[in-house]
Amino acid sequence: MNHLAIHNPATGALITTVVADDAATVADKAERARAAQAAWAATPLAARKACIERFAVAVRAELEPLAAIMTRETGKPIKMSRNELNGLMGRIDFFLGAVDATLATETVFADGGMTEQIDHTPLGVVANISAWNYPWFVGGNVFVPALLAGNAVLYKPSEYATLTGLAMARLLHAAGVPADVFITLVGEAEVGAALQAQPIDGLFFTGSHATGERIAKALGPRLVKLQLELGGKDPTYVCDDANPQVAAESLADGAMYNTGQSCCSVERIYVHARIHDAFVTAFLATVNSFKVGDPAVEDTYIGAITRAPQLAVLEDQVADAMAKGANLHCGGHRLPGPGNWFAPTVLTGVNHSMTIMQEESFGPVIGIQKVASDAEAVGLMNDTRYGLTAGVFTPNEARARALLAQVRAGTVYWNCCDRVSPRLPWSGYGDSGVGLTLSTYGIQTFTRPKAWHLRQA
């Protein structure tokens, strides 16, 4: 029997070990999900919604212990764990409110005895390989609408958020979702590979570009529906007419929230030369006010790095920038003691020859580059293989719209950042992935359209 050891990234201590899957148990679980899916799809939508409503009630009732579990296994500050769970409630409310109209049969033509309709039928068995940085958000974006649409779900939480994934399954089953309609798979990369090998009808993955590329190569010949959210190198431009203090406070939070471990964290900042120095001063003051410490303490803002290997990535990016002439204002190094810790880091004098302005950091590290014009800023924002989010700070909406219309990104922000709404689709350009979640499109993505041509005799 395989086992998975779960450690606290803030201390390095072993939390527990859990039984892990292998190729045989993955295949068995996939068969069970396939056998259970048809009956779930035949269950009236109102009954499926009632299960998700009870699930939401249960999450609310256990919010504090669930937040504590997430903080222990990911290093996320406890307030941010609580914020994630509270935010999940809004997403569930959206899906519950939108699903009836979204899945309703559409009559698109009716004339002379001929009627044309579109039905939205479930994909079938959906595999969800989820992420550790926002496990409730990223998982819920998939399994909530997938279940509502009548699919069975094989849910593989990240090995860094396994206990959270098991809690999801427990609460869903207690809420009435059949045990074989939502099944958790436990383990590391080999379990994900075994899941991909099953006869699934869709695979929804959030993680690194390298892993997403491997999944696409493996499943492409099988023509399985894919949704790959693969991160970004998200830029923001601060125009010369922006308030440098307001922009700095917002962007410091956007860059450092969740210890910089968000898919849509601000990872590149471009500031017009006229306000560059004032912005940097305000930015540093904000970052220096963030408390680094025990994630379980209420006022901690910067927690642990969840994955130890990421520490070397951050070190290498800072060293590369420094070697090429960047100015280090704070941080730039690991913090002493047990666990995975990296000091909040701010660099100026950066440019696009440096990896910190090209490759995803996924940590509390940010580069700020001075620009002379809007045109230069747009060119630099688009100088990336990614395209998840991008933002502009200016009091002039027309200026912001004109600039953001030129930027290749799935989500754009005016005077805000690092924000996700259940009402808007979450998607990316380029190496940020394919497909989408959220919005009504993120409900329909778990269905197949069936076209009906109906002629009266």
3-state percent helix, strand, coil for the chain, nearest multiple of 5: 45, 20, 35
Residues 6+ apart with CB under 8 A from 263: 131, 133, 134, 206, 229, 231, 232, 388
Q: If you ran DSSP here, which 8-state letter would residue 334 be given?
A: B
Instruction: Tell me which residue has tokens 């901690």.
Output: 300
Q: What is the pLDDT of residue 385?
A: 97
pLDDT for position 457:
87
Model pTM score: 0.96
Task: Count Cβ atoms within 10 A of the Cβ of residue 248 and give its class: 0-12 exposed, 13-18 middle, 19 or more buried.
Answer: buried
Please give the angle made by the CA atoms of 287, 360 and 368, to the nearest 5 degrees. Answer: 40
CB 232 within 8 A of CB 360: yes
Check: CB of residue 356 under 8 Å from CB of residue 313.
no
Contact between 136 and 20 under an 8 Å Cβ cutoff? The reply is no
Q: Output DSSP code: residue 437.
A: B
Distance CA 16, CA 26 (A): 22
Strand partners, 447: 122
Q: Residue 117: what residue type?
A: Q
Cα 108 off chain centre by: 35
Asked if 256 contacts 302 with a C-beta cutoff of 8 angstroms, the reply is: yes
* pLDDT at residue 337 in the model: 87
Q: Are 232 and 418 in contact (CB under 8 A)?
A: no
Q: Which residues are catalytic?
A: 229, 263
Report residue 197: phi and psi, to 5°: -75, -10
Helical residues (DSSP H) of 104-186, grouped into ranges: 135-148, 162-174
- The DSSP output letter for 204 is E
Other CB atoms within 10 Å distance of the CB of residue 403: 23
Q: Give the torsion sign (CA, 266, 268, 274, 275).
A: positive
* Rounded distance between C-alpha atoms, residue 326 and residue 453, angstroms: 64
Mean pLDDT by 10 residues, the chain (457 residues): 95 98 98 98 98 98 98 98 98 98 98 97 98 97 98 98 98 98 97 97 95 93 94 97 98 98 97 98 98 97 98 98 98 96 98 98 98 98 98 98 98 97 97 97 98 96
- Cα–Cα separations (whole angstroms), residue 414 to 247, 382, 417: 11, 17, 8
Q: Are 437 and 453 in contact (CB under 8 A)?
A: no
pLDDT of residue 101: 98
